[in-house]
Amino acid sequence: MSRCLVIQHVEPEGPYAIALALEEYGVELDVRHLFAGDEVPTQLDEYSGVVVMGGPMSVTSDHGFPTRRAELALLAQAVAIGLPTLCVCLGAQLLAVATGGRVYAGEHGREIGFGTVRLESTADDDYLLSSLERDQTVLHWHGDTFDLGPDAVRLCENELYKNQCFSVGPNAWGFQFHFEVDKEAVEAFVETFQGEVTAAGLDPFAILGDAPEAISRLVDLTDQVTTRFALLVAAFRMVNDPPFQR
């Protein structure tokens, strides 16, 4: 049976639709709740995939982020062995640094709430993103941004921050934005991080009001990315299981 490691940094930023798709295709989840004291594995031998979710900590410092170095090492290992890897928000920033990129405070300030990203032509041949419409409505929730490493390929951008989504190697993706959320997830984000919203000069109730329509426009992206990733994870274990090795 395929097994996927899920790194969850804070309670509201769970895997949501990603977890549902993985379970639908028979993938067992090993969710590590770091906020509850779970440890980060040092090896990936038992896994067919890795998912790293978001959080308010900074990739630039160990302060308040004691698992930072362990996660960077784990992601570097995952990319090196071609393990299916999906990283969201903070996870995308970790993947960028683990593969030679740089994270820093965004010059345009925090990007929070629903907005649009545009798929670049590089997405036309991407396993997760091919065939989707160019303009996609997504949920932004970040203050830092990043430069990509030498082997990464940018897949999405918008007017504020050019690196919104990227791939590195054959099976690893980083999404700066959230595509996995439902209405309950947005409510949990707003409740937990309301201070960030108001500090950015935004109205948290406006985000909640935008959620139903915005999430309805997010469905195609959510369904395609989560389904294709789940299929990749499920197939990875089938190919690499000892009974199938030559």
**Strand 3-8 with 28-33, pairing:** parallel
With H, G, I as helix, E, B as strand and everything else as coil, classify residue 39.
coil
Is this model's pTM higher than 0.85 or not? yes
Nearest in space to 72 (alpha carbons), one of 47, 48, 101, 105? 101
pLDDT of amino acid 246: 29
Amino acid at 137: T
Written as six digits, the tokens of 8 are: 């969850």
Q: Tell me how far apart the alpha carbons of residues 191 and 200 are, in angstroms, rounded to a whole number.
A: 15
pLDDT of residue 242: 47
**How does strand 85-88 pair with strand 172-175?**
parallel
Q: Which residues of the chain have pLDDT under 70?
A: 237-246
The phi and psi torsions of 53 (rounded to 5 degrees) equal: -95, -175
Nearest-angstrom CA–CA distance, 227 and 156: 19
How many domains, in total, are found in the chain? 1
- Which CATH number belongs to the domain containing residue 13 in this structure? 3.40.50.880
- Provide the 8-state DSSP code for 242: G
| The predicted structure's pLDDT at residue 243 | 43
Quote the pLDDT of residue 109.
Answer: 85
> Whole domain around residue 103: which residue ranges?
3-244
Non-local (6+) Cβ contacts of 71 within 8 A are 7, 40, 52, 94, 98
Task: Single out the residue of 238, 156, 210, 185 nearest to residue 8, CA to CA.
Answer: 185
Q: Report yes or no: 44 and 7 within 8 Å, Cβ to Cβ.
A: no
